[in-house]
Amino acid sequence: MQHMKSRLLICFLFSSLISYSNKIDELKTEADIAHFVNELSGYTSSFPKTNIPNLSPIRYLKIDIDKNGLTDLLINDRKIFAIIDVGNDKFELKYVGTEHKECRLVSIDTTGQEPILVIKKQNNYIQHEPAFSEVPDSITYKFNNFIEYNSKPQEMRVESIKISMGPCFGNCPTYDLLINNNREAEIIETSLKAKITKQSFDEIITLISYLNPDSLKANYAIDATDNPSADIEIKFNGKLKTIHDYGLEGTLGLQQLYLLIDKLVKDAKWEHIPD
């Protein structure tokens, strides 16, 4: 009887290992990884062999970035991005950086509960070549994206959020959105109102608390023209924080906030406010 229990336990452990393995686990060579990356991203990986001083020599790393028990793949090539296994044999690409600014990987810390990537963000150009800040940033994967790491996040009482999305040269959504702490949202210029789902509201409030509005600058801007902008007013803990972000690339955390706000605007059940 004891022998049978041992065999059943071994079979259970073996089946559990199989259930948590994925396509990334099966990749054995650099050529396998490059082919897998190219198929998913449409991005030709070169994995340069030359190590740049003061930057990480890692070209790729198998790691569970989002802590869901499935192996993900971090790529450190001409761009930094991750292929995230979200389950059911589906993968999502998450890039570090923005359309106008590149990043460079300095190191990876996997000793804590969540992997921390130390990067240098591009802050300028020198003779048409990107220049990077000497002060590195620490980022982690949270809220379904890479954002700046906060070692001591604190809960805060957010009273309201107002975000005005400005136009661009092209097709950019424009609106003035007001969200109150009773989960009511209003698109001011159209007199539309909606009750936000608790999940959507909690995601936005938790992200804002994690970003720590006090640590954000009042103004961000990219060196380009005809791009959209955002004007943000956050009332919290009896204070008001205003942020102007031309180009919508102020921080990685703000970029994730814009994604959550856009999703809210698209998914909410809007109704006209009665006169």
* 50 has pLDDT over 80: no
Give dist(CA 47, CA 265) in Å, integer. 40
pLDDT digits (tens, 9 = 90+) for 210-249: 999 999 999 999 888 889 999 999 999 999 999 999 999 9
Provide the pLDDT confidence category of residue 16 given band limits of 50, 70 and 90. very low
Provide the pLDDT confidence category of residue 14 given band limits of 50, 70 and 90. very low
Give how far Cα 35 sits from Cα of 63, 73, 124, 149, Å: 18, 13, 33, 31
CATH superfamily of 158-272: Mago nashi (3.30.1560.10)
Q: What is the pLDDT of residue 249?
A: 93
Query: In terms of Cα–Cα distance, which of 32, 95, 98, 22 is closest to 63?
Result: 22
Residue keyed to tokens 């661009």: 168
Pairing of strands 184-187, 129-132: unpaired
For the chain, the structural domain boundaries read 27-148, 158-272
Angle 49-50-51 from CA coordinates, rounded to 5°: 115
